[in-house]
Amino acid sequence: MGGAKNCPETPRQKMIGMMYLVLTAMLALNVSTDILNGFTLVDNSLHSSIAASDTRNAKLYNDFKAANADNPEKTQEWYDKALEVQKRADSLFNYIQDFKEHIAILADGQKTVDEWKAQGIDPTMHIEGNSNLDVTGQYAIVQGNGLKLKEIVAYYRDFAADLADQDAELRQSIQQNLATERGYNAHEKDSCDWEVAIFDGMPVGASITILTKMQNDVRSTESQLIQYLMDRTDAGDLRVNKLNAYVIPNSNYVIRGGKYTAQIILAAVDSTQRPEYYIEGQRINDQGIYEVAASGTGLKKYSGWIAYQNPSTGEMENLPFSSEYSVGEPAVTISNTDLNIMYRGYDNKFSISVPGVSNDKVKVTVNGAQVRQQGGLWIIKPGDAAKSVSISVSAELDGRMQPMGSREYRVKALPKPGAYFKSGENEYNGDKSIPRGALLNAAATVIASYGPDGLLDLPFQITGFRANINGVYLESKGSKFTKEQLDRMAKLKPGNSVIITDIRAKGPDGKEIRLSPIPLTLN
């Protein structure tokens, strides 16, 4: 079959090839019967191996199908790939079988494939011309069927190797078993194409055995791939040796009228499985969410079990659990950070919270005042005519607003502060004499304050005052002495007095008030 080869030939190789053909023609009728019988034995053994693979593969597919029926969410992707493997493996196996049958019919030349099959006989198992050296090369090389077979084998091999992308050892095994690289023919020195190396000058009996071996490799590769895909369905599972039941409540503290909600889970179980959940003997929803109305206050206890399928035995088993929660009366914490009363026309600062509820789910409504939220505090400003203010608090629980409590506050006008002359760190209101330096300090100022022991510290602004200096009244438009006032006071002697009178101040409510005079005696 030298003229059909794709190997480059030198003149010397052509001469050797011609001599080989002559020798082959002389020995064609005398091929050793023992050798051909040996191929037959190997072929029979391979058929037994294929039958075993078919049985094993059928079981794997049945197991895979059953697993997919029980848990399609987990196995569907891999089961679909397994079915694709089955489809491609059968296609290649049948193509090789057809390849063998054509060689067998050409070797015998008496019956067609259909005639053999009509008798229930596999023509590849009853070949009269097993020693024929020409038929295989004619069909595989001259007619080009060997190249087609090579392409189909390579296509299946690449598909299988890509599918086993996470198993380097399996990929290597597939590539070796289904290799289509160039090889060496028994009578050629240089490497040849795969189909030439396998089929050129090969006795029919040997060729049939080689093709059966390919079929065995196809089934063996199929088995490895299906087992690999079945293993992949569990690749992301966490392997554990102990199971526990856990109750995870949204909160162990519940307001009366609200709902207690808890998630009951089976730890280390397959998340796609659906255990059965029971509370006090009654089955609850399949999500394991326990919800019950909190009708009375106090400690509440409950227990139950989770029914799950043991992965080893397939039997249902029960895993008990218990938990508890507390139910309390509705409560709210309301505190005035300035004082226990509320002042009219003033931004009263309140800290308002509900235990166990975030501030963004708390709502405050006020009757008789304006209210706004600022920096985590609630600013409440009663109107000018308000005598009382009611604060009501509600909170969002279980998706709905629930009243948490209310409180009423009396409203009073801001108390009048006292007037002080402040020089440096000292404050004077007539209770002690003042040094000359402190009196003539240009930075000194008149202030309105509730004193160092006062409960309030509010921002009053001095808008003006008059200073009686030895009987002379001089006006100031702000909180400090004017230059004229300072010049006149510089002439005073110890024991002389200055009376700061007609002191006017504006409070945080925007109203102007008049404060008591400040007598200052120079020491």
450-506 confidence digits (pLDDT tens): 877 776 778 899 999 999 998 899 999 999 999 999 999 999 999 999 999 999 999
| Site of tokens 């009987």 | 471
- Average pLDDT score, the chain: 82
What would the mean pLDDT of 252-262 be, rounded to a whole number?
69
pLDDT at residue 27 tops 60 = no
β-pairing, 418-423 with 377-382?
unpaired
What would the mean pLDDT of 400-419 be, rounded to a whole number?
88
CA dist 226 and 46 (Å) reads: 21
- Please tell me the least confidently modeled range out of 213-217, 354-358, 375-379, 492-496: 354-358
Contact 152, 92 (CB under 8 A): yes
How far is CA 160 from its chain centroid?
Answer: 31
CA dist 316 and 325 (Å) reads: 29
CA dist 144 and 173 (Å) reads: 28
Q: In the beta sheet, which residues pair with residue 471?
A: none
pLDDT at residue 191 tops 80 = no
Nearest-Å Rg of the Cα atoms of the chain is 51
Contact 157, 82 (CB under 8 A): no
CA dist 203 and 29 (Å) reads: 11
Residue by residue, DSSP assigns 56-108 as HHHHHHHHHHHHHHH-HHHHHHHHHHHHHHHHHHHHHHHHHHHHHHHHHHHHH
- Please tell me the least confidently modeled range out of 57-66, 244-253, 439-448: 244-253
pLDDT of residue 199: 86
Task: Write out pLDDT tens, residues 138-175.
Answer: 899 999 999 999 999 999 999 999 999 888 999 999 99
Q: Considering the entire predicted model, what is its pTM?
A: 0.46
